[in-house]
Amino acid sequence: MDLWRDRSLNGKTFSLMFTQNLTPEYFQQFLDWLSQQLGNDYAILQIDQAPAHVSSAIHWPENIITNASTSPFSRT
């Protein structure tokens, strides 16, 4: 079971739990959900090289930025 939890600088906390292995489809659902929750704000995600994170099928929302050191799909 994967658990993602974040406490932002403004004190907002949210989590999303996956009960199955993380696939690109599940990760995309998470990114879409996070993007919607952010509204006009931005998030920077530090990700690893997990297949779901670096899949070419991932569409990165404009308000989510990844760490360039680990993702070939991050924006500079």
Q: Does the residue 71 lie in any domain?
A: no
The span from the CA of 66 to the CA of 5, in Å, is 16
Mean pLDDT of the chain: 75
- At residue 61, the pLDDT reads 95
Q: Does the residue 40 lie in any domain?
A: yes
Q: Does the residue 15 lie in any domain?
A: yes
**Residue 40's pLDDT band (boundaries 50, 70, 90)?**
very high
Residue 70, pLDDT above cutoff 50? no
Over residues 28-38, mean pLDDT: 90
Q: Does the residue 38 lie in any domain?
A: yes
Q: Does the residue 47 lie in any domain?
A: yes
- At residue 18, the pLDDT reads 59
Q: Does the residue 74 lie in any domain?
A: no
Q: Which domain holds residue 17?
A: 2-66
The span from the CA of 63 to the CA of 42, in Å, is 5
Q: Does the residue 13 lie in any domain?
A: yes
The span from the CA of 8 to the CA of 69, in Å, is 22
Q: How many domains does the chain have?
A: 1
Residue 39, pLDDT above cutoff 80? yes
